[in-house]
């Protein structure tokens, strides 16, 4: 078992960045965005279309396809911040269907390939922000003073919850009352089922060498979003209880 370094507020972006140029690219496939950058536009678009199809159809409709179908019309015309966009399997799809998407990622190469695909598809309703430091979060206000949706598809579970609480607080500054916090995480039931491993080891099992993966339930998520208050629109464990989905409505 790999001995991962301790993640702190000061180093978790740098350590995580070394891992998360490796991005989901379909059903169980992963690829490296540094390698994808070498593809020409036709090959890159073909790779994205293939990845999106694999990730959202057949048995994998029950992983990504169901929520893309659910939110496609909900997000049309809304300002959406895609936190940790990866390959843009969600964000590009929603931009194609009329959402005003801002893509945020700690890996510049991830943003590079998503930007190229959006340009190739002539999507004008997109912005891109490289989170090289947490202070960069404040530059999001130059794009929008607030967002209707903060979309965190598995991007805030890969650092200790007390470390990532600061990032959540910065994101919450951009979500007014009436806005919605969408988050995908791994549930405690999965952690229990897989042996209650230390979080710095569980990432090896769940995400192929991630330095940290942590479970969430509603009580824990609400605690780390406090003092902001939320009503629950949806809380749903799915795909054989491997994932949990939260859709929270921020209160005044």
pLDDT at 134: 79
Beta strand 100-105 pairing with 30-32: unpaired
Average pLDDT over residues 122-126: 95
Quick: pLDDT tens for 181-214. 999 999 999 999 999 999 989 998 898 888 899 9
Burial profile 131-155: b = 16 or more Cβ within 10 angstroms, e = fewer: beeeeebeebeebeeebbbbbbbbb
Quick: pLDDT tens for 125-174. 999 999 888 777 777 888 888 999 999 999 999 889 988 898 999 999 99
pLDDT at 148: 98
> Residue 41: how many CB atoms within 10 A of its CB?
11
Q: Rounded to an integer, what distance in angstroms lies between the CA atom of residue 247 and that of residue 115? A: 27
- Please give the residue that has the higher pLDDT: either 41 or 133: 41
Q: Is 122 exposed, middle or buried (0-12, 13-18, 19+ CB in 10 A)?
A: exposed
- Which residue blocks in the chain are alpha helix, DSSP H? 12-19, 33-36, 41-56, 65-71, 91-96, 108-120, 140-143, 161-172, 188-193, 199-207, 218-225
Tally the residues of the chain.
252
Residues 33 and 69 sit within 8 Å (Cβ to Cβ): no
DSSP, collapsed to helix, strand or coil, labels residue 104 as strand
Residues 213 and 186 sit within 8 Å (Cβ to Cβ): yes
Q: Is 199 exposed, middle or buried (0-12, 13-18, 19+ CB in 10 A)?
A: buried
pLDDT at 1: 42
> Which percentage of the chain shows pLDDT scores above 90?
72
Domains along the chain?
12-250 (3.40.50.150)
State the virtual CA torsion across 198, 217, 153, 182 in degrees, nearest 10. -160
- Assign 8 a pLDDT band (cuts: 50, 70, 90): confident
């Amino acid at each position: 078992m790999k001995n991962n370094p301790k993640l702190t507020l000061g180093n978790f972006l740098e350590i995580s960045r070394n891992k998360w140029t490796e991005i989901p690219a379909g059903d169980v496939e992963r690829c490296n965005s540094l390698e994808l950058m070498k593809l020409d536009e036709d090959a890159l678009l073909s790779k994205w279309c293939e990845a999106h199809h694999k990730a959202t159809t057949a048995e994998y409709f029950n992983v990504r396809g169901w929520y893309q179908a659910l939110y496609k019309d909900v997000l049309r015309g809304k300002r959406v911040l895609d936190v940790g966009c990866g390959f843009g399997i969600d964000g590009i799809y929603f931009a194609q269907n009329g959402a005003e998407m801002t893509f945020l990622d700690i890996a510049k190469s991830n943003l590079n390939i998503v930007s190229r695909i959006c340009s190739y598809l002539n999507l004008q309703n997109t912005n891109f922000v490289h989170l090289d430091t947490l202070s960069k979060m404040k530059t999001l206000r130059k794009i929008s003073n607030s967002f209707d949706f903060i979309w965190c598809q598995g991007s805030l579970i890969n650092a200790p919850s007390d470390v990532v609480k600061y990032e959540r607080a910065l994101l919450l500054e951009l979500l007014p009352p009436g806005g919605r916090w969408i988050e995908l995480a791994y549930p405690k039931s999965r952690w229990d089922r897989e042996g209650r491993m230390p979080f710095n080891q569980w990432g090896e099992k769940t995400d192929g060498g991630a330095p940290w993966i942590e479970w969430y339930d509603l009580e824990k998520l609400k605690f780390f979003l406090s003092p902001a208050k939320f009503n629950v629109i949806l809380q749903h464990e799915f795909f054989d209880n491997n994932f949990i989905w939260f859709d929270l409505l921020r209160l005044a």
